[in-house]
Amino acid sequence: MIRYENGSFLLSTPNTSYVMQVNRDGYLGHLYYGKRLDRPLVQDFLRSEEIPSPSVKPGEKVSFLDNFPFEYPASGVGDFRENCLEISDSEQVFGFEPLYKGYIIKKGKPALKDLPASFGHDCETLIITLEDNVRGVELDLGYCVFNDCDMITRWNVVKNLSEKDIYLEKALTLCMDMELEGFSVIRETGVWAREHQAFFTQIQPGVVATESSRGESGHEAAPFIGLVSSNATNETGEAYGFSFVWSGSFLGKVWTNSFGLSRLVMGVNPNNFRWKLKAGDEFTMPEVIMTYSSEGLGKMSRNFHDFIREHIIRSVWKDRQRPVLVNNWEATYLDFDDKKLIEILRTASKAGLDMLVIDDGWFRESKVEPEGGLGDWVPVKSKFPDGFTPVVEEAKKLNIKLGLWFEPEMISIDSDLYRAHPEYALSFPGRVPALCRNQLMLDFSNPDVLDTIYEKIATQIRESHFSYIKWDMNRPICDAYSRYLPADQQGEIFFRHVLGVYKIQEKLLMEFPELLIENCSSGGARFDCGMLYYSPQIWTSDDMDPVERLSICEGTELIYPVSTMGAHVCKNQNDISGRLVSFDTRGLMAIAGTFGYELDISKLSEEDLKKMPAQIRLRRELDKLINRGEYYRLSSFDRRGYRIPGSIAKSYDCMEIVSRDGSEAAVWYMKPLYEPDSRGSRIKLKGLVCSADYDVTVITDADSYFNPDTALLNKRAISGEELMNAGLCLPVIHGDYTGVLILIR
Ligand code: DGJ
């Protein structure tokens, strides 16, 4: 719901409100974001009468603007905090002063030009127009308020109404001026194989920031920033979350001054960004989705999950059972050929798998090094003398679908495409460009490059009927010089690169609407709402060790639904951690995700092979619950650096997914290290129906799901009231790295 009354805008979702007001001088101020309000605010939260030093009277511009809670601050006219918009003209920054002009409210949500964005019908859009007449520039601040969930989204359109070209030096989407005493900032950071590690930093005067300048959202930082009150737990306290619908460089920052006023900003990273806005043109900034919860971090996560499922993911696969697949990467790395794939296919058929994904290496000569072939995208003769035909025919016979790996943004120097078009690669004139995995970045600002790469991918899909592609991206952008763009548009490369990725994925989905895309970036380096608009699942991490996954998954689940998280059963011993974990535990833990196998199934022991059909069946039976259920974090495994301000981290990890009607739930529990002479954990479940009776089965292997007599615990008729209030007493679980799945029905 959106209301406008006496210069105030009140935006309300079922449980939250957001309030703005225009002050007497025409500045748009931010008053409130938090628990829902049903009456307009009456106090002066703009603090118009306060006189911050060194001013001598209220409203004196410099000190006043430096403390005014701006809805959208710009540079150079008296607010010295982080600003959102910087405009230059002929190399000079002249300042920008956006003053209120008017507003419109409309039903529904407009699409954003060339950008992924949330969508929906049960929502309203508010556009507030600000203008700077001196510059001849107008700014439309866009807000969409959703009625079915606690989410408000924001984006902006800058319009150059002047007669000369201008440059956007900085264009951040969101600003939120707030008073956040005692709050902490949540950021997600990490590295390859340790993505999405959440950290909490208490707010003090100064800056807490999260950012990527790599051209992708990156391992080091996820495009998310959150705030939690000092007492927050998973169920209590206040939490705010801001997630960027963008897959490139970004900035999220909380800047607090000595008066205790905090400014949170989020948007495209100004590093390597400069956009030429020609006279008469407009520029749309990517969307930020934001939510508030007065019921702790858990509700914040559930708000994100619901919204992402209903209003970000478009794929026809969203609610369908996704294929249970085997991917040959960790099975073979680059050393495979058609015969090896046929061997895997035959085992896959016996085990009941749906799909084989052919990973990196099918187009390269090398069996060892990732070098050559990127950009050509044709099966290499030495591994596929008859192309994909023998594999395609065998798969057809066995009724198994096929998927194929691409890294479309890259080019190898050893490729026909590079030999024909060296100008397709980004590189500074006169400097040898930096290689990473022996590869260069393609210039995605060049439409010919996009068309060429599109055709190469589409040809393989058309010829061999691939129903899935894994779109990988394994290096950051540097040497960002385009032979296609003119000199004064070189600052657009990073932004245009991401637009190019979106454009190809959109075109693929137009030509192949049934295509399942799984995005990936060296594991989970580009896991964001932008990519989810094109693919309902993203590869979470190359680290599939169930113990390592605990923190990777917890961090990812803080924002994204479990149904979006690529998860496979890894080999024993795990290649990254060297850890030995039973096939049963690896299987049960990977079920909390899209599920598949990433090991040489043709070499599995008889014993493990026999377990596969039950694991696959169990994943299929839980599919609806995992895809549509509600997520509750019951316990966080104690690890370095991670502490929700009001909670204690424990010696075990526990996560629950419960159906919306509370009739069934699945709970994943793992205590990585056995503690001698310890007691069984007592866990309190969530989301059940108090008066209902439940059967509880605790299993250490998938087979026990179908033969409950072999389960670790099998109890009948425990009330929801008991399970939620008194808890469930688990038996002591012996051994290290053992996980159990608890089924409540
Ligand atoms: C990185 C991905 O995360 C892996 O799954 C695999 O596809 C490799 N790239 C292939 O080079």
* Residue pLDDT, tens place only, 569-582: 999 999 999 999 99
Question: What does the pLDDT look like over 583-621, one tens digit per residue?
Answer: 999 999 999 999 999 999 999 999 999 999 999 999 999
642 pLDDT band, cuts 50/70/90, is low
Q: What percent of the chain stands above pLDDT 90?
A: 90
49 pLDDT band, cuts 50/70/90, is confident
Q: Is 472 a catalytic residue?
A: yes
What is the predicted pLDDT for the residue at 640? 62
Q: Indicate whether 643 pLDDT > 80.
A: no
150 pLDDT band, cuts 50/70/90, is very high
The better pLDDT of the pair 508, 648 is held by 508
Q: What percent of the chain stands above pLDDT 70?
A: 99
- Mean pLDDT value across residues 92-112: 93
Instruction: Tell me the pLDDT of the chain averaged across its residues.
Output: 96
169 pLDDT band, cuts 50/70/90, is very high
Q: How far is the CA of 522 from the centre of ligand 1 (A)?
A: 6
641 pLDDT band, cuts 50/70/90, is low
- 52: cis peptide before it, omega within 30°? no
Q: How far is the CA of 523 from the centre of ligand 1 (A)?
A: 7
Q: Is 472 in the pocket of ligand 1 (CB under 6 A)?
A: yes
Q: Which residue of the set 472, 543, 600, 623 is catalytic?
A: 472
What is the predicted pLDDT for the residue at 628? 96
Pocket probe mutation, ligand 1, options 216, 359, 517, max atoms within 8 Å of Cβ: 359
Q: Which residues of 216-234 are buried (b: 16+ CB within 10 A; e: fewer)?
A: bbbbbbbbbbbbbbeebbb
Q: Indicate whether 546 pLDDT > 80.
A: yes
- Mean pLDDT value across residues 387-392: 98
Best-predicted range by mean pLDDT (90-94, 537-541, 732-736)? 537-541
Q: How far is the CA of 290 from the centre of ligand 1 (A)?
A: 31
Structural domains of the chain sorted by starting position, each given as residue range(s) with its CATH number in brackets = 2-311 (2.70.98.60), 327-345+354-466+468-513 (3.20.20.70), 630-744 (2.60.40.1180)
Q: How far is the CA of 368 from the centre of ligand 1 (A)?
A: 14
What is the predicted pLDDT for the residue at 257? 92
- Mean pLDDT value across residues 167-187: 96
Pick the residue whose CA is nearest to atom 10 on ligand 1: 360
Tokens 């974990």 identify what position? 581
Q: What angle do CA 74, 80, 83 make, to 5 degrees?
A: 30
Model pTM score? 0.97
Helices and strands, counts by H and E, the chain:
15, 38
- 390: CB partners within 8 A, 6+ apart: 338, 342
Q: How far is the CA of 663 from the centre of ligand 1 (A)?
A: 39
Question: What does the pLDDT look like over 342-386, one tens digit per residue?
Answer: 999 999 999 999 999 999 999 999 999 999 999 999 999 999 999
Least confident of 48-62, 202-216, 451-465: 48-62
Alpha-carbon distances, residue 590 vs 405, 559, 597, 616, 706 (angstroms): 21, 19, 9, 11, 18
Least confident of 57-66, 221-230, 272-281, 321-330: 57-66
Distance separating alpha carbons of residues 115 and 309, to the nearest angstrom: 18
- Mean pLDDT value across residues 42-67: 83
Q: Is 474 in the pocket of ligand 1 (CB under 6 A)?
A: yes
- Mean pLDDT value across residues 11-30: 96
Q: Indicate whether 236 pLDDT > 70.
A: yes
Pocket probe mutation, ligand 1, options 366, 437, 542, 599, max atoms within 8 Å of Cβ: 542
Q: Is 330 in the pocket of ligand 1 (CB under 6 A)?
A: no
Pocket probe mutation, ligand 1, options 406, 519, 520, max atoms within 8 Å of Cβ: 520
Atom number in ligand 1 closest to CA 523: 3
Q: How many CA atoms lie within 13 A of 501 on its CB side?
A: 32
Contact criterion met (CB below 8 Å) for 200 and 228: yes
Q: Is 329 in the pocket of ligand 1 (CB under 6 A)?
A: yes
Q: Is 360 in the pocket of ligand 1 (CB under 6 A)?
A: yes
Task: Please name the amino acid found at residue 196.
Answer: H
Q: How far is the CA of 220 from the centre of ligand 1 (A)?
A: 17
Q: Indicate whether 55 pLDDT > 90.
A: no
Q: Is 359 a catalytic residue?
A: no
Q: Indicate whether 154 pLDDT > 90.
A: yes
- Mean pLDDT value across residues 415-435: 97
CA distance from start to end of the chain: 38
